[in-house]
């Protein structure tokens, strides 16, 4: 099973797309199937909303990409598990699993490659965005967005009694953290995945807040994490390199950088969780 993309991967895509496609005019949109068009009756009805439109800046709301069109409508792209968005010349061979191809009047194409068909594409009016996607209006802290003081974060942590891994993976508390980065954040904070959130001391909350911000932003700096169970390449086809900086995730049996003991793993809610014995 392919695991979901997390915030560093989606932000890596957003940053490159913004540089590459903002200001370009869409000539044609070709959809391979209806897999990513659950809101439409046919492929043409989606294509007609985008063809002939000029793309504006690419922004991110949680794990959703939102691109303003020149008629003020919004092109919404929600990359699914295993999906990538690639920049291509029109003559490039089409990769298996390519669901959407946007061809520009000048400057090639971008393609959504999604072998599992788990992504979603649609066009909405700006006033309808939050009614169509209400979860975007109820998102939690964005670790790559505006800085949130640790005191505000403490209210979210101490006001709940849930295991810390569940807390970090709850989009209503923290946006875009999942299997990979929750384990890394908890290692750097020195806290166990099953520790109740309301049991943390003030110092531990501050450590958790600092680890959250630093891990997510370091992963963005290295353009995300390419893994065996979640291959990831950026818009240019280059794999994310944060894999080489992972402290615990996927490293069961390797020596912890903290005390040289073996990194452990346990099944937690159906998936492996990785940690070091120094986490408390």
How confident is the model over 159-197, as pLDDT tens digits? 999 999 999 999 999 999 999 999 999 999 999 999 999
Please check whether residues 22 and 99 belong to one and the same domain.
yes
Size (the chain), residues = 280
Q: Answer yes or no: is pLDDT of 2 > 80.
A: no
Helix residue ranges per DSSP H, 75-232: 129-132, 150-158, 164-168, 179-189, 202-221
Please check whether residues 15 and 88 belong to one and the same domain.
yes
- Residue 201 sits in a domain whose CATH number is 1.10.8.50
pLDDT: which is higher, 1 or 279: 279
In the prediction, which pLDDT does 86 show? 96
In the prediction, which pLDDT does 3 show? 82
Q: Answer yes or no: is 166 within a domain.
A: yes
Q: Answer yes or no: is pLDDT of 20 > 70.
A: yes
Q: What is the pLDDT of residues 103-154, one digit of tens each?
A: 999 989 999 999 999 999 999 999 999 999 999 988 899 999 888 899 999 9
Dist CA 264 CA 20 (whole Å): 42
Residue 215 tokens read as: 């891990």
Please check whether residues 59 and 175 belong to one and the same domain.
no
Span 210-239, average pLDDT: 96
Q: Answer yes or no: is pLDDT of 1 > 90.
A: no
Dist CA 258 CA 264 (whole Å): 13
What average pLDDT does the structure give for the chain?
96
Number of domains observed in the structure of the chain: 2
Between the alpha carbon of residue 152 and those of residues 117, 140, 209, the distances in Å are 37, 11, 10
Residues in a beta bridge with 230: 227
Could you tell me if 13 and 64 are in contact, meaning their C-beta atoms sit under 8 angstroms apart? no
Residue 219 tokens read as: 């992963």
How many CB atoms are closer than 10 A to CB 207? 18
Q: Answer yes or no: is 143 within a domain.
A: no
Determine what percent of the chain is predicted with pLDDT higher than 70. 100
Q: Which of 130, 56, 115, 39 is nearest to 81 (CA)?
A: 115
């Amino acid at each position: 099973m392919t695991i979901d993309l997390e915030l560093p991967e989606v932000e890596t895509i957003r940053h490159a797309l913004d540089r590459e496609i903002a200001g370009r005019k869409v000539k044609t949109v070709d959809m391979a199937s209806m897999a990513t068009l659950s809101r439409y009756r046919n492929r043409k009805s989606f294509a007609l909303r985008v063809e002939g439109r000029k793309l504006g800046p690419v922004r991110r709301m949680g794990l959703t990409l939102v691109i303003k069109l020149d008629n003020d409508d919004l092109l919404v792209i929600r990359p699914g598990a295993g999906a990538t968005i690639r920049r291509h010349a029109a003559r490039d061979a089409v990769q298996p699993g390519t669901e959407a191809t946007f061809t520009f009047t000048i400057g090639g194409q971008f393609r959504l490659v999604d072998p599992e068909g788990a992504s979603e594409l649609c066009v909405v009016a700006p006033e309808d965005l939050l009614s169509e996607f209400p979860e975007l209006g109820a998102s939690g802290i964005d670790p790559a967005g505006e800085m949130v003081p640790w005191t505000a974060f403490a209210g979210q942590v101490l006001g709940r009694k849930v295991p810390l891994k569940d807390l970090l993976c709850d989009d209503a508390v923290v946006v875009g953290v999942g299997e990979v980065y929750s384990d890394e954040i908890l290692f750097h904070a020195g806290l166990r995945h099953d520790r109740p959130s309301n049991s943390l001391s003030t110092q531990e909350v501050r450590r958790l807040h600092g680890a959250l911000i630093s891990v997510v932003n370091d992963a963005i700096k290295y353009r995300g994490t390419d893994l065996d169970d979640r291959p990831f390449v950026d818009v240019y086809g280059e794999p994310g390199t944060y894999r080489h900086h992972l402290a615990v995730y996927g490293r069961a049996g390797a020596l912890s950088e903290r005390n040289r003991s073996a990194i452990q793993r346990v099944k937690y809610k159906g998936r492996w969780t990785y940690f070091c014995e120094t986490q408390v």
